[in-house]
Chains A and B, each alone.
Chain A
Amino acid sequence: EPEVTQTPSHQVTQMGQEVILRCVPISNHLYFYWYRQILGQKVEFLVSFYNNEISEKSEIFDDQFSVERPDGSNFTLKIRSTKLEDSAMYFCASSGLSEQFFGPGTRLTVL
């Protein structure tokens, strides 16, 4: 069964550094999402992406965040200047005409 994949599984960075989280959605899906989950808390929506542009974004997704689909398979989330409070698990998801499938997540730790 096809799965969403994410790399790296764990990223440690210094505050103020840029990070890029990578995702490979399921190949025939058209809708892509990023969510984050702070340890022990609920999953929070960040951004959705369709037809090579952002379709929705939350208040969390401020100017420090950006997304890109640089080629036909990858979907990336960039955090330009990380803050301590960006430490969380970041999940990529993709969907076709049915359910959203989540990737295994990238745990981001900002020191």
Chain B
Amino acid sequence: GENVEQHPSTLSVQEGDSAVIKCTYSDSASNYFPWYKQELGKRPQLIIDIRSNVGEKKDQRIAVTLNKTAKHFSLHITETQPEDSAVYFCAARPFGDGGSQGNLIFGKGTKLSVKP
């Protein structure tokens, strides 16, 4: 089955710096890759997603890149702010027709700390 690896497990940056979190997946049939932000004790919330027919997607300070050949995708946060501090999870959807109806396989998470 699908396996998602995520690195690093913790990341500390200064406010205003960029943060990059990387994930790899094993199932070449996976076609949907969302990123979730989880604040302490809260629900995971989608911050950005990308489908396998797209190489890059950007939403303000957040961007995601996908390399299907290498089977890896990355989250980039620019101009980090203290409120970006949270645990970030990448995920992959193992199969399906390009929508988001299938189950998600999550990475182990990255705890991002943004120091003022």
Where the two chains meet, the residues of A that have a C-beta atom closer than 8 Å to any C-beta of B are 31, 33, 35, 41-45, 48, 50, 56, 58, 91, 95, 97-105
Contacts and interface: CB of A to CB of B under 8 A. Distances in A.
Contacts of B108: 41-42
B60 interface: no
A91 B100 contact: no
Interface residues of B, number: 21
Interface stretch (B10-18, B41-49, B66-74, B76-84): B41-49
B45 A102 contact: yes
A56 B102 contact: yes
A33 B103 contact: yes
Nearest to A101: B46
B46 A100 contact: yes
B89 A43 contact: yes
Interface string B87-116: 001010000000111111111110000000
A91 B43 contact: yes
Given A99-B46, A104-B43, 13 more contacts: A31-B101, A33-B103, A42-B106, A42-B108, A43-B44, A44-B106, A45-B103, A100-B34, A102-B36, A102-B43, A102-B45, A104-B42, A105-B43
B34 A99 contact: yes
B96 to A, nearest CB: 10
Contacts of B99: 97-98
Nearest to B49: A99
Contacts of A42: 89, 106-109
A20 B110 CA distance: 31
A50 B101 contact: yes
Contacts of B106: 42-45
A98 B43 contact: no
